[in-house]
Amino acid sequence: NAGVMQNPRHLVRRRGQEARLRCSPMKGHSHVYWYRQLPEEGLKFMVYLQKENIIDESGMPKERFSAEFPKEGPSILRIQQVVRGDSAAYFCASSPWGSSGANVLTFGAGSRLTVL
Amino acid sequence: RKEVEQDPGPFNVPEGATVAFNCTYSNSASQSFFWYRQDCRKEPKLLMSVYSSGNEDGRFTAQLNRASQYISLLIRDSKLSDSATYLCVVTPRGGYQKVTFGIGTKLQVIP
């Protein structure tokens, strides 16, 4: 029973390039959350998705960032034209639907983005 | 006021000591409460849920005070392996459940 799978674990990009981070939730989980963590800082909520729906993207920067969770395949967090300030750990978490444990999150190991 | 507030610490305590952290929340409609643990450069992991009646798991005790809107985590007989950042989490009642994390309290247990 694989947990939440994130890839790549480490990604290096030059300024102006695009970064794509992927997240496959736990089996049976239909909710995905993305968080960003800067060095020595807390987890900052970015976006909450269900299959084919963005429920809350209030934490997403207005430009360059987008997320999706298609009917088939992993959730993807996309960062266009990366800047040095985008360097961070990006954590994905999933939770089940319709149970008392609906808001207990299981995290992936994270994707660490470094922008040169 | 932030939705969830924690003292970032660090709390430096000797092995065997008892240490307690508090976490305050601003939304009185918050329903579910949790403590997560995050080791350096790793993903957060659920430590324990916090129930209205309080709950205990070995050396760890979690309490909820709805009147004062805070939750607490007590660690007895601290071990070196308890060194980590402890994250407070609250979620609202019903409907869409945005999960909000506190900044975390860093604990360093010293030999």
Q: What is the pLDDT of residues B24-47, one digit of tens each?
A: 998 877 778 999 999 988 999 999
**Cβ–Cβ < 8 Å for B9, B107:** yes
Q: How far is CA B43 from the centre of its chain?
A: 15
- pLDDT average, residue stretch A33-59: 91
Residue B11: CA atoms inside 13 Å, Cβ hemisphere, count?
24
- Say yes or no to pLDDT of A95 above 80: yes
Mean pLDDT estimate for chain A: 91
User: What is the percentage of chain A residues whose pLDDT exceeds 70?
Assistant: 93
Q: Taking a contact as any Cβ pair under 8 Å apart, which residues of chain A between 17 and 36 contact chain B? A: 33, 35
> B43 and A109: CB-CB below 8 Å?
yes
Give the model's pLDDT for residue B95: 57
Strands A111-115 and A10-13: parallel
Beta carbons within 8 Å of A29's beta carbon, 6+ residues apart: A4, A94, A95, A96, A97, A106
Show residues of chain B in contact with A93, CB under 8 Å: 99
Q: Give chain A's count of helices (H) and strands (E).
A: 0, 11
> Tokens in use for B94?
């019903």
Give the model's pLDDT for residue B30: 75
Question: In terms of Cα–Cα distance, which of A8, A13, A6 is closest to A33?
Answer: A6
CA distance, residue A108 to nearest chain B CA (Å): 7
Q: Give chain B's count of helices (H) and strands (E).
A: 0, 11
Residues of chain B with pLDDT under 70: 93-97
